[in-house]
Amino acid sequence: MTLHGIAASGGIGIGKAVCVREPSLDYSGVAFGGADKEKERLQAAVDAFCAATQDMADNLKARVGEKEAEILSGQITMLQDPFMLSQMKESIDGGQCAEAALDTVCSMYADMFAGMDDELMRQRATDIRDIRTRMLQILLNRQPVDLAALPAGSVLVAHDLTPSMTVGLQKENVAAILTETGGRTSHSAILARSLELPAVLSVPGALEQVADGQILIVDGDEGCALLSPGADQLAAYEAKREACLEKRRMLEKFRGKPTLDGDGRVFKLYANIGSAEDAAAAAAASAEGIGLFRTEFLFMDRAALPTEEEQYAVYKEVADSMAGREVIIRTLDVGGDKDIPYLGLEKEDNPFLGHRAIRFCLDRPDIFKVQLRALLRAGASHGNIRIMLPLITGLDEVRAAKELLAQCKAELDTEGIAYDKDISVGIMVETAAASVLSDVLAAEADFFSIGTNDLIQYTLEVDRGNAKVGKLYTPYHPAVLRSIRRIIESAKAVGIPVGMCGEAAADPLMIPLLLAFGLDEFSVSPAAILATRARIASWTRADAVRTAAEAMLLPTAADIEKYLQAACAER
């Protein structure tokens, strides 16, 4: 029997299933003991949670890394948020026991985040649910799941692998991970890749279909798991596992090396990040810069806007961590599927076509100018920060943003505060309008970065969060490829650099096309750095141009994908 899910962490894992089931958290028998007592119980649980979580974060940092530990530290910040705590206390004042108040508020936030289309936003729901579960365990005096004593060769099967569950995990005893939830950017996936464990996520009903002790093969490359495989299947996957391990060992030779194609032409290989901690991970993965810093994460999980000083400190930390290498920071991209409650965004029938990103920022200069001032100041020390404007559809938006930037410069001059006077301002080319107008926009922008995630969505009119039309969402559609080629040509015509920060930048099938089109910079997740560098090295310009020419003659996405799979098979 074969189970199918999302290929979240590559490799082959073979072992015996260990099914992880949480203890009951039923609190229906807990009586309300009065508002004061319930608030005391709640605060005691919060204090215990924060102390235990900090210990776990320190443990995880020592064993795995700072980036993974930051996931747990972030939970402390969430739970200590005054707004969230005040909502729980209001529920207690309304007659709920501490357990019910916690459950009510956490469920509200988890549902809000889970309803967003952006997977990075949905991951906040996992954090909130993990907080809820562990807080209820404390309040109800239930023992949490302990994975510290797993036998060697264990395949973890769980509803979700939360950060707190992995603290005592001994990597050498785990062969693979299988979960019922999560995606490629979920905490489960991040932790699995950090631990270099094969993982397949979002397998419906995995705990119902897998029995403890059952032999499992988990294929983290194909996104499937084989239950009780036969001898021939075991032998075939053992050989495939050894080949995966050898390939991983071979990739290490690309660590810390320049990014060159088969002819020795130099390219930039950057990383996409969402925090200062991610920048450190990117540097460790030998990223040559930051191609996309998603600043909206600075505005989330809090009750009020981050101040100029708070933003300045984070941007400067990222700039410092890259030691002079280029850092492209996207201005606030809020709206669409990224709701921030304290901003009071109105619910829209079609938020992806609504009041979001640059549209919101231009309408709220009080918020936008704070960010621009922080970016200008952070760029003063190294001069390596670049500002990128999201969701541009016309020249007027770029000019309006530049006018606000000029106002910020004048203010800083008056105040005698140092800033980067020559900071570059580029745009994220991710709308059909920006693609059509790319020649006009290239004359105004200092650089382009192609955001393929939204470019595909807007070009093909496909909601990338809607599973019913998911099969139509593809970078191989001729319209998408022609759009990417046009954008790159427009940038080249006026001599500005052009990069790509969408998922397509790390797609091995797309790399020959992007090389042939003339892309200068690839920006990918830190985990994809070495593999992307290796794939670029496998192509000469002549081979890439020939492959692209053949692909662009084909009429359908299916034809193009099939052709590229064959062309890339031997590389």
Q: Which residues are marked as active site?
A: 187, 501
Spatial separation of the C-alpha atoms in residues 477 and 423, rounded to whole Å: 36
CA 208 to chain centre: 29
Closest C-alpha to 326, from 280, 294, 376, 291: 291
CA 211 to chain centre: 32
One-letter amino acid for residue 452 of the chain: T
Q: Cβ-count burial of 25 within 10 angstroms (0-12 exposed, 13-18 middle, 19+ buried)?
A: middle
DSSP 59-114: HHHHHT-HHHHHHHHHHHHHHT-HHHHHHHHHHHHTT--HHHHHHHHHHHHHHHHH
Spatial separation of the C-alpha atoms in residues 393 and 379, rounded to whole Å: 27
Spatial separation of the C-alpha atoms in residues 117 and 337, rounded to whole Å: 5
Q: Are 188 and 57 in contact (CB under 8 A)?
A: no
Q: Are 521 and 497 in contact (CB under 8 A)?
A: yes
Per-residue three-class SS string for 323-356: CCCCEEEECCCCECCECCHHHCCCCCCCHHHCCC
Name the DSSP letter for residue 142.
P
Torsion 533-536-537-538 (CA) sign: positive
Q: Measured between alpha carbons, how far is residue 228 from residues 197, 201, 222, 223, 225 in Å?
A: 20, 19, 18, 17, 10
Spatial separation of the C-alpha atoms in residues 296 and 332, rounded to whole Å: 5
Q: Cβ-count burial of 535 within 10 angstroms (0-12 exposed, 13-18 middle, 19+ buried)?
A: buried
Spatial separation of the C-alpha atoms in residues 209 and 337, rounded to whole Å: 33
Spatial separation of the C-alpha atoms in residues 508 and 569, rounded to whole Å: 10
Spatial separation of the C-alpha atoms in residues 366 and 480, rounded to whole Å: 36
